[in-house]
Amino acid sequence: MTDRAKFISGVTTSLGHSEVHTPSPEPATAFSDSDEDAKLKAAAALAVATDRANELIEQMAKAAENTGWQVHRVSNPEDAAELIADICRGYDATSVLRSTHGVLTDIPLDVAVRDTGVTIDVTESTDPGDTTDSSEREEAKKAAFSADVGITGVDYAIAETGTVVLHPRKGLSRLVSLAPPAHIAVLRPGEVLESLDELFAMERADFLSGTLSGSMNLISGPSKTGDIEGTIVTGIHGPLEVHLVILGNS
């Protein structure tokens, strides 16, 4: 018997059975929900995100503030770029790292930042190949650890909790939103899901269709700890400050 078989057979015995029983459907878990149901839930989540976009943006703004984001509202792309450049200048930033989220090129961000004399780099390897090698990865890590500000868009946001959701992938590194002492996330209406239920419905649908990403990060405010005398302090390992720039309808 392999170790696995022995281990699991021990569990079966502890359960008082002689063989593994397939579970009958349990309503509390979504495990036996059909693929069809999962797709419908995901579609419904996206529909709500669009139909109630403005309402959800307001909810998101409030929840984000409650959980430690500094929330900024701008109404056009130029203002968004200027604001972000200002924030970077406020940190005396010399180098800034950003992801390849569409919104970050839809606004004149690179120009606005470079105009203030700050270098802005993109988290995407310059190698046109599909895979990265270890020296590229080492470079990427160094870049993230030395950047003063990390800027991303969002893959989703969650109104219930004030959360920004990122799926690391080519063009969106794991560290760009973690290593620099400040993180700026740019959000547009239509990107906000109502609650954790909708997010995980989307994730489940992705899984069932085989498109689940390698990892996912839910970010709800700055890095914090209360481990010393129960006093909350931000920036123990991740960003000390996080900014949510909400780009309103243009």
Rank residues 7 and 78 by Cβ distance to other proteins and give the closer one. Answer: 7
* Two tokens, residue 38: 């999962």
* Shortest CB 151 distance to other proteins, Å: 16
* Shortest CB 87 distance to other proteins, Å: 20
Rank residues 79 and 203 by Cβ distance to other proteins and give the closer one. Answer: 203
Rank residues 28 and 117 by Cβ distance to other proteins and give the closer one. Answer: 28
* Shortest CB 89 distance to other proteins, Å: 22
* Shortest CB 119 distance to other proteins, Å: 18
How many beta carbons lie within 10 A of that of residue 138, not counting itself? 10
Rank residues 78 and 138 by Cβ distance to other proteins and give the closer one. Answer: 138
CA neighbor of 156 nearest in space, from 40, 37, 42: 42
Looking at residue 25, what DSSP letter applies?
A: P
Rank residues 63 and 244 by Cβ distance to other proteins and give the closer one. Answer: 63
Rank residues 37 and 58 by Cβ distance to other proteins and give the closer one. Answer: 37
Q: Concatenated DSSP letters for 66-117? A: HTTEEEEEESSHHHHHHHHHHHHHHTT-SEEEE---THHHHTTHHHHHHHTT
* Two tokens, residue 248: 């309103």
* Burial class of residue 150 (count of CB atoms within 10 Å of its CB; 0-12, 13-18, 19+): buried
Rank residues 102 and 226 by Cβ distance to other proteins and give the closer one. Answer: 226
* Shortest CB 204 distance to other proteins, Å: 4
CA-to-CA separations, 147 to 93, 122, 140, 184, in angstroms, rounded: 8, 11, 11, 13
Q: Are 85 and 115 in contact (CB under 8 A)?
A: yes
* Shortest CB 165 distance to other proteins, Å: 9
Residues 213 and 215: their CA atoms lie apart, in Å, by 5
At 55 the three-state DSSP class reads helix
* Shortest CB 84 distance to other proteins, Å: 22
